[in-house]
């Protein structure tokens, strides 16, 4: 049935590298978590002044804008992987190097409002994809970055990846972002 929200994936459905993300995904319903994150992240970003959105907590670290842009880029990749796996496409999917992508992305040349709007659009697209999956699509397993991964695991990874980066923002960036 479309809109079915899958249980957390078993460890056999994804590379152990992603375990921290799966663990950090809040709640027991990944579709509810993804929708709630979309709204809470939008509210958080709306409170960051443009004059502080280029802040980096240390040399060589990403700016606030780059962190949010990374979330959008990564979610696109993970959602594409979920689409391919859910559609039973057995073609192995390659890795991506987020650090190599960052200099080419140009997030610091854009406004935080623009990047936040893009992130919201990406999340809306992700939610539309996941709401349309039938129950039999969620446990399907494909290959990404040389490892097995299920469509279900990818949904939980997307949620946990965002939770991870928002925790980093709260701990390392937001204390320094007063207006």
Query: The domain that contains 136 carries what CATH number?
Result: 1.20.120.450
* 28 within some domain: yes
* 3 within some domain: no
Enclosing domain of residue 130 = 11-176
* 6 within some domain: no
* 2 within some domain: no
97 vs 17, 43, 70, 77, CA distance in Å? 15, 29, 11, 11
Give me the pLDDT at residue 3, please: 59
Give me the pLDDT at residue 2, please: 53
Helix/strand/coil (H, E, C) string of 123-151?
A: HHHHHHHHHCCCCCCCCCEEEECCEEEEH
* 124 within some domain: yes
Phi, psi of 142 (to 5 degrees): -125, -165
- The number of folded domains in the chain is 1
* 98 within some domain: yes
Dist. CA 74–CA 78, nearest whole Å = 6
Predicted model pTM: 0.95
* 148 within some domain: yes
Q: Which residues contact 126 (CB under 8 A, 6 or more apart)?
A: 34, 75, 79, 158
26 vs 33, 65, 68, 70, 157, CA distance in Å? 6, 24, 19, 20, 11
Give me the pLDDT at residue 78, please: 98
* 78 within some domain: yes
In a structure prediction context, what are the per-residue pLDDT tens digits for the chain, which is 179 residues long?
455 789 999 999 999 999 999 999 999 999 999 999 999 999 999 999 999 999 999 999 999 999 999 999 999 999 999 999 999 999 999 999 999 999 999 999 999 999 999 999 999 999 999 999 999 999 999 999 999 999 999 999 999 999 999 999 999 998 887 64
DSSP letter, residue 93: B
């Amino acid at each position: 049935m479309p809109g079915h929200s899958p249980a957390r994936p078993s460890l056999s459905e994804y590379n152990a590298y992603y375990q921290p993300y799966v663990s950090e995904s809040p709640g027991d319903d990944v579709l509810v978590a993804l929708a709630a994150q979309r709204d809470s992240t939008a509210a958080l970003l709306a409170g960051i002044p443009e004059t502080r959105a280029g802040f980096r907590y240390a040399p060589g670290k990403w700016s606030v804008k780059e962190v949010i842009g990374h979330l959008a880029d990564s979610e696109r990749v993970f959602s594409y992987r979920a689409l391919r796996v859910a559609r039973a496409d057995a073609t192995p999917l390659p890795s991506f190097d987020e650090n190599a992508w960052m200099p080419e992305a140009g997030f610091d040349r854009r406004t935080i409002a623009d990047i936040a709007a893009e992130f919201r659009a990406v999340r809306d697209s992700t939610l539309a994809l996941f709401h349309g999956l039938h129950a039999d699509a969620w446990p399907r397993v494909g290959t990404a970055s040389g490892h097995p991964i299920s469509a279900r695991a990818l949904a939980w990874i997307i949620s946990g990846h965002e939770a991870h980066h928002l925790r980093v923002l709260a701990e390392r960036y937001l204390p320094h972002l007063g207006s």
